[in-house]
Amino acid sequence: MPMPPGPDDPPPWWKGWPGLAALVLVLALLAGGAFWLLGTDEEEDRCADDQPGLVWAGSGRDRECIGVVNETAYAFAPELKEVTEKIAAENRRVRDQWEKPGEGRTPVPYVKVGLLTPMTASDSSVLPIEEIRSSLEGAYTAQCRANACPSLSAVNATGVHGRTPQVQLVLASEGRNQLHWKPVVERLADMTGGAHPLVAVAGMGVSVPETQSAADELAKRKIPAIGAVLTATNVNSERLFKVSPSNTDYAKALRQRLDRLPAEQRRGYLVFDSRDDNYVRTMRKAYDDVFADYIDKRRVSFVGTTGPRTDGVPSLFFNAFNNICLTKSELVFYAGRGRDLSDLVRSLSSRSQCGHDKPITILAGSQGAVQQANDVMGLLKDSRITIMQASATSTEQWIKGVEAPSGFKSFHQSFRDLKFPDKELADGYAVMHHDSVLTAVWALRMVTGQTGRETPSVQDVYNQLTNLHDAAVVPAASGDLSFDDASDGWPHNKPVPIILAPGGSPGSGPLYKTP
């Protein structure tokens, strides 16, 4: 049994002033060490030493860089190095015009527009890195046209309403599957105050549940958003606008074309992706609603390969092949992502083995699906398969001047002035992201033009977006677009061209436009 200390025994070390001082010193060292460790962890999480707004997320193969970048370039992938450097340089030039305008010159006010989209890619992500690159090139072209970049031809330098405020394009990377949207949206929301506020968000990724969540969170923060390639009819939010047609519009455009076929050829089979993906689910519904008499009960599912949640054997078209062979269907209504289209083509190319010797047309409502099937173009010809795609753009035809929207020519010249090759226009993502940013610029410039204020608020920009119609129509590269508060953010008057692959004329007849 321990004995209590005697009167002559020294007190325990933690008692008295020396012990207290030592204890304070130890605690201070521990606290300092803890703070140092926290600081070290935070720095180690950064994607680069000079990028406080970018951090690593995920682990192993899923590790990727997310966050917000403005004036200091960061290449999320080697393929993005050139365009991200151009955007950062323009952002610095915009700031310099405010802070260092030069002798006798008035400071030029500026605001920020966010570009929220995946900046990283993998074999299973919906967006390949090529489409991400062309998206950034298109957005940068819109920024340059808004700011009258020195590298643009004088005749095409403006192309948008007014001249101020200038625009910084803030890149916001939410991850290859958009899983990290929340911290990125919160960072964007933090930028809506100050002398140079963020007033809108463009891009918005693709039609998946995470996009809906991001749009809802932006709406809570009163921030308007303009989707570039969103087509799912169930991705709607209070302050979300889109410059693309909806999946219903895609189906109606295809119906307008297919109704020219003889009655005996109007027999199709629906092949749909079974995953929880807003795009594929609403594309399937659009086919069911618009082509009920073509499809009847003929349908079969498969498991797509894109996205983070894949259950079952992916891209297996065995059942589709057998059913299409049995019914001798000549039309295949495809409700799936572009990455899986090539596998469907490969499967159907061997249909002669089951006695199906007629040509097949695969119907798709999508942006860029044909380009993602480039690896099977030779097989399409050899096996008499045609892809008929309703799309938001038809750049190959537009470059030739065939049914080109009035706003395409000036966009195309600016795109070339910025040293981007025409091949980058093929998937349509450059055009659509240009139009997304351009729509934001039109709204914010119309506010400052009417109010005389240097910068608008997010509420001002939202209000103006609902009034971009009639005399205020947006002369976008993909068509003259109109918006109001009664269409769930969908554009009025948007052309929906038809693309055929292998290449061929889309044929005569009226061009479908969104109502």
* Model confidence pLDDT, tens digit, residues 10-61: 344 344 444 444 444 444 444 444 333 333 345 669 999 999 999 999 999 8
Backbone angles phi, psi at 93, to 5 degrees: -60, -40
Sorted by where each starts, the structural domains of the chain and their CATH numbers stand as: 57-245+400-484 (3.40.50.2300), 248-391+498-513 (3.40.50.2300)
Query: Helices marked H in 76-123 — which ranges?
Result: 81-99
Query: Is residue 439 exposed (0-12), middle (13-18) or buried (19+ Cβ within 10 Å)?
Result: buried
pLDDT at position 374 is 87
Poorest-confidence range of 20-24, 75-79, 165-169, 236-240?
20-24
Closest-CA residue to 141 (of 379, 429, 350, 405): 429
Which of the two residues, 490 and 16, has the higher pLDDT score?
A: 490
Tokens representing 55 are 């951090």
Q: What are the residues whose beta carbons fall under 8 Å from the beta carbon of 131, sequence distance 6 or more?
A: 368, 427, 429
Closest-CA residue to 393 (of 243, 235, 196, 264): 243
DSSP character string of 342-368: HHHHHHHTTGGGGT--S-EEEEEE-SS
pLDDT at position 332 is 98
Tokens representing 130 are 């090529």
Confidence category of residue 120, pLDDT binned at 50, 70, 90: very high
Residue 470 has pLDDT above 60, yes or no: yes
**408-417 and 129-147 are packed helices; what angle lies between their axes, rounded to 10 degrees?**
100
Residue 121 has pLDDT above 80, yes or no: yes
pLDDT by residue (tens digit) across 81-90?
999 999 999 9
pLDDT by residue (tens digit) across 268-321?
999 999 998 999 999 999 999 999 999 999 999 999 998 876 666 777 899 999
Tokens representing 388 are 């008929």
pTM of the prediction?
Answer: 0.90
Does 224 sit behind a cis peptide bond, omega within 30 degrees of 0 on the bond before it? no
pLDDT at position 29 is 42
Question: How far apart are alpha carbons 339 and 368 in whole angstroms?
Answer: 10
Closest-CA residue to 169 (of 71, 96, 307, 240): 71
The H or E element containing residue 199 is strand 198-203
